[in-house]
Structure 1
């Protein structure tokens, strides 16, 4: 008795002598002419390209899920595809007969009229019921499509469709056979809710756990399968830990795979033979299936392939556990450098120190591409020049500011702090001006009220920042009083708001140097939600928000926190303004930190 699901690739020709029945719980045939034509076009496109490719090449149809019932197969999923293929074979029946090819049968458990109509399609009866209508549409589509082709093309198409494994260049189904104790109706329900794991990962898992892939029997066989299944699940659990997953993956919430091990399988699949389009939805499965089929004479092929998956996982885990590798690799993956490229770098480096140096070289080329082109002896000078010249709008500015955070953490060998790639990848990030350059007044009354409320909260008597100049302190008190009056009025006075807004901008931007506004010394990374919550805010309000976020354990990049706490400023005499000297000290800190980061490793 079969007690596990079985998975294999089957040529269409292997199905021709089979009997299928469509159970009562399934709806009737509903493919549209567009879907029928797309299937024909896909097979035709494969046929044309396959003529110049190795005979091992094949076109893969979506999975069909079946369960054995005596001499018939219950068609749990794949009715639409198998019925469409049946209609195509029916249209080409004369040629198939000349080739000596039979045609599989389709039985409808509760719709005998549809079953009979399918064997003798008459479009004149299309209006008799909904099944007849869609079957007739499909028939007419197939007929019209072949009539557009040259006469001999029917034979060429059918040959490709029905070639066996020996002839190659054929069409195959992913055949997913349920074990005998499986409840077909439950599986069908899960399929239609998108819950059954017919993903690449689960298909590959079924390949690995197939009994034919192991050399033992009985208890020994069960132990081997159980061991591999446990190892698979352990890896999947680790990949579901957010900090580890977002270290190696850039997927957002909407793109999360059902089985995260698929990321590892994709890395391995990219190295396996067989020309398959990377856009094929079953690219990973097809690569693994072809490899195991090609090496079926090797009793250890499955173990060797699974060992590669485990080695890859252990390598990624090792990178995660190491403080330097975690940050350097995490940064590069976040910049879309592939895991395979990083593996190649590690293999070619020969030692851990050489690997770390190679990673820094890759980072330099991404964050400071102009400096990376300079000769080694001029590296320090060129790094400083590239950073000093960076400004708002530069395409690699985000990568540069992110790197400053990474280099700040790695600059302290005693620190165990880790950059939170999970938050960085899941949140939306802005490049924020430290001292606002936008004097655009909020247009809506709601926006004006929000801005005014910020002024009241910041300049309230209990929270007013002490400053050296009593006149400035008095001015802040007046701003508080004017803002409070605006909010207390029954009707919000937009004209008075405009006057307040202009006066505040004038007072807090009096030291502005327009030449420095968009340079790197006035820019930092901030999550979009925090940034946009204080649009057009003056520096002390921005600073207040950053402190509040940090107190509440909201992720604030270390360099962003340091900026608003003025840790980079060498003489802090005023926390209310972002002065030109603060700008220069911050820019100098970036230059010194990144120069040490690169030149300490590369020179």
Structure 2
């Protein structure tokens, strides 16, 4: 039922148009507010936000139009009379702004609309007088008066802040209202006003830029001759939207979870409109396409749609190309904008030229030589370490021969990532008896799987296991835990362990929850836990998995319970290798 109401509402609100607020061709007529609506309730925050958005500190260019939220009306009997279904708060605030300009500053605004109330005629009178002594007579009066005082305060504060004479500021705001500010205007037919009001306000589902643009595109082709074209656009739209809703495709294109794009195709419209991430005008994209389509012949709506389809096809081609999928996926994940990549593809006319340009972009994004990578450190460059290790993982998957496996950016982007110390830092950071017990139990389990060739070491291993068992069966003190943890760590640590523990050769990518579950434990313990997480289906990046499976050293050359200096060296060599790692993207390697 809710889905049906949602669709009926969308149908009723098709074919919007832009309506100037003031000046010639501005809003005019009598607007009737029916009994089913509550009174005026905007507070200072909403009023100030509206004024600030309109004025934009006086920086609007002559073509910098600004679009307010939609106004939904239904024409009534009589010339210029409307039932105001949605937009009462905005229209009332605009009325109050015009009144301030007329009354307080002496600027003749010439606005041509009035507000009437079905069951609150006194509110209509108060809106004209704004008598401060009557502001507490009822709740409508109070909010109207407070909004008016807020308008007065905004003009005073803004004039003082910008060092602008009050009258000049007022003229500037009026100029914007009369020439640059619009509302999205709907006049639905064949639907009961009360029913539409309820549907608009239950759940308060806002129309998206994409839905508004769709209405524009289809309303340009309303005659019977173009009916088939409308059906074709609608079918293509649905197919593209469905594809963009696929987690794998969306995660390749965007670092957002999609909450800011309930209609995913809006991403394509934003790209074509060159919308900036910091753009504050909610309807910027709609306004771009509205301006592009106004005054053009009907065929141009098809050409506009063709550019959207072409953009989608380019993105889809990238997604399906295994090499581009991995390289572009890495760039997008680490902050390169999709618009920049599209611009690059327009500059480079062939696929091979584009591929070379993408490689160069990765080199620039990494910005490191082999020597720089070897010096990367957890304490001084954790973000750089994360990006380098991500590229290592992505490239390792990309290079898999005879495989269709792809790095799962959709799984990657559902996690928060951290750098895991492959070999433990120390156990002395643990502070509770429960943490000590878990640490010792894990250490005991790892020691039970280890055998030392050196008889003295193996005897120490057995003795430590026995001591741990005794400690776990008694009350565990901090001093006893410290002694035992040092003995366990000594057995499970490489000889000559040094201060390189924070270097990139001892770091791997892990999700934060899994990293937290490993804690400050020895390599052998972490190895068992990582394998267990992997067995249970958790996403473990391929290079991290290979680290704990001792993939980077020759089989049998080292014991499985240690992450030795040789292990670190082999891991680092693989990382900076041109054939196995990220070497082709390092400065000076070309």
TM range (shorter): 0.7 to 0.9
Give the Cα separation in 2 of the matches to 1:145 and 1:520.
Answer: 54
SS at match of 2:99: helix
Higher mean alpha-carbon deviation, 466-475 vs 69-78, is at 466-475
Q: CA deviation at 1:578?
A: 0.8
Do the aligned partners of 1:92 and 1:158 also contact (CA within 8 Å) in 2?
A: no
Give the Cα separation in 2 of the matches to 1:137 and 1:475.
Answer: 80
* 2:508 aligned with 1:524: yes
* 2:569 aligned with 1:579: no
SS at match of 2:16: strand
Residues 411, 38 of structure 1: alpha-carbon distance in 2 compared, 3 angstrom cutoff: closer
Matches within 5 A, 1:128-277: 128-143=137-152, 150=165, 152-153=167-168, 156-157=171-172, 159-163=174-178, 169-181=179-191, 184-185=194-195, 187-191=197-201, 193-194=203-204, 196-210=205-219, 213-214=220-221, 217-218=223-224, 220-252=225-257, 255-270=259-274
Residues 278, 471 of structure 1: alpha-carbon distance in 2 compared, 3 angstrom cutoff: same
Give the Cα separation in 2 of the matches to 1:100 and 1:44.
Answer: 16
Q: CA deviation at 1:3?
A: 5.9
Give the Cα separation in 1 of the matches to 2:122 and 2:351.
Answer: 71
* 2:411 aligned with 1:423: yes
Residues 100, 135 of structure 1: alpha-carbon distance in 2 compared, 3 angstrom cutoff: closer
Do the aligned partners of 1:33 and 1:137 also contact (CA within 8 Å) in 2?
A: yes
Higher mean alpha-carbon deviation, 243-252 vs 112-121, is at 112-121
Q: CA deviation at 1:84?
A: 1.0
Give the Cα separation in 1 of the matches to 2:457 and 2:193.
Answer: 78
Do the aligned partners of 2:509 and 2:544 also contact (CA within 8 Å) in 1?
A: yes
Aligned to 1:35: 46
Give the Cα separation in 2 of the matches to 1:563 and 1:61.
Answer: 55
Higher mean alpha-carbon deviation, 299-308 vs 22-31, is at 22-31
Give the Cα separation in 2 of the matches to 1:348 and 1:100.
Answer: 49
Give the Cα separation in 2 of the matches to 1:417 and 1:362.
Answer: 24
Do the aligned partners of 1:68 and 1:180 also contact (CA within 8 Å) in 2?
A: no
Do the aligned partners of 2:18 and 2:182 also contact (CA within 8 Å) in 1?
A: yes
Q: CA deviation at 1:10?
A: 0.8
Give the Cα separation in 1 of the matches to 2:144 and 2:346.
Answer: 57
Which of residues 2, 17, 22 in structure 1 aligns to 2:33? 22
Give the Cα separation in 1 of the matches to 2:521 and 2:567.
Answer: 18
Aligned to 1:377: none
Give the Cα separation in 1 of the matches to 2:233 and 2:41.
Answer: 40
Give the Cα separation in 1 of the matches to 2:507 and 2:128.
Answer: 72
SS at match of 1:416: coil
Q: CA deviation at 1:259?
A: 1.3
SS at match of 1:85: helix
Do the aligned partners of 2:374 and 2:572 also contact (CA within 8 Å) in 1?
A: yes
Q: CA deviation at 1:543?
A: 0.8
Give the Cα separation in 1 of the matches to 2:130 and 2:42.
Answer: 16
Aligned to 1:375: none
SS at match of 1:30: coil
SS at match of 1:6: coil
Give the Cα separation in 1 of the matches to 2:567 and 2:292.
Answer: 61
Aligned to 2:342: 343
Higher mean alpha-carbon deviation, 84-93 vs 302-311, is at 84-93
Residues 136, 557 of structure 1: alpha-carbon distance in 2 compared, 3 angstrom cutoff: same
Q: CA deviation at 1:162?
A: 5.0
Give the Cα separation in 1 of the matches to 2:555 and 2:277.
Answer: 62
Provide Cα deviations, 1:76-122, integer angstroms capped at 9, x if missing partner.
33221111111222344479999693531212233232233223321
Give the Cα separation in 2 of the matches to 1:547 and 1:513.
Answer: 24
Q: CA deviation at 1:337?
A: 0.9
Do the aligned partners of 2:362 and 2:585 also contact (CA within 8 Å) in 1?
A: no
Aligned to 1:538: 522
In the superposition, the TM-score normalised over structure 2's length comes to 0.86
Higher mean alpha-carbon deviation, 78-87 vs 478-487, is at 478-487
> RMSD of the TM alignment (CA)?
3.1
Give the Cα separation in 1 of the matches to 2:110 and 2:530.
Answer: 74
Do the aligned partners of 2:15 and 2:186 also contact (CA within 8 Å) in 1?
A: yes
Do the aligned partners of 2:36 and 2:194 also contact (CA within 8 Å) in 1?
A: no
Provide Cα deviations, 1:27-46, integer angstroms capped at 9, x if missing partner.
22122234334433443446
Q: CA deviation at 1:313?
A: 0.8
Do the aligned partners of 2:55 and 2:176 also contact (CA within 8 Å) in 1?
A: no
Give the Cα separation in 1 of the matches to 2:50 and 2:212.
Answer: 22
In the superposition, the TM-score normalised over structure 1's length comes to 0.85
Higher mean alpha-carbon deviation, 540-549 vs 34-43, is at 34-43
Do the aligned partners of 1:521 and 1:584 also contact (CA within 8 Å) in 2?
A: yes
Give the Cα separation in 1 of the matches to 2:465 and 2:264.
Answer: 53
Aligned to 1:551: 535
Give the Cα separation in 1 of the matches to 2:233 and 2:69.
Answer: 27
Structure 1, gaps ≥5 residues long: 164-168, 372-383
Do the aligned partners of 1:77 and 1:188 also contact (CA within 8 Å) in 2?
A: no
Higher mean alpha-carbon deviation, 326-335 vs 137-146, is at 137-146
Residues 410, 502 of structure 1: alpha-carbon distance in 2 compared, 3 angstrom cutoff: same
* 2:70 aligned with 1:86: no
Q: CA deviation at 1:470?
A: 5.3
Aligned to 1:166: none
Aligned to 1:379: none
Provide Cα deviations, 1:405-459, integer angstroms capped at 9, x if missing partner.
1221222342211111112222111111211223433112332233234335545
Q: CA deviation at 1:311?
A: 0.8
Give the Cα separation in 2 of the matches to 1:546 and 1:162.
Answer: 62
Q: Tell me how many residue pairs correspond in the alignment.
A: 564
SS at match of 1:104: strand
Give the Cα separation in 2 of the matches to 1:354 and 1:102.
Answer: 58
Give the Cα separation in 1 of the matches to 2:589 and 2:307.
Answer: 32
Q: CA deviation at 1:179?
A: 4.1
Give the Cα separation in 1 of the matches to 2:567 and 2:105.
Answer: 82
Provide Cα deviations, 1:504-559, integer angstroms capped at 9, x if missing partner.
22322352431432222212111111111111011011111111122122111111
Give the Cα separation in 2 of the matches to 1:513 and 1:602.
Answer: 31
Do the aligned partners of 2:293 and 2:300 also contact (CA within 8 Å) in 1?
A: yes
* 2:506 aligned with 1:505: no
Structure 2, gaps ≥5 residues long: 1-10, 160-164
Give the Cα separation in 2 of the matches to 1:487 and 1:361.
Answer: 57
Higher mean alpha-carbon deviation, 342-351 vs 70-79, is at 70-79
Aligned to 2:376: 390
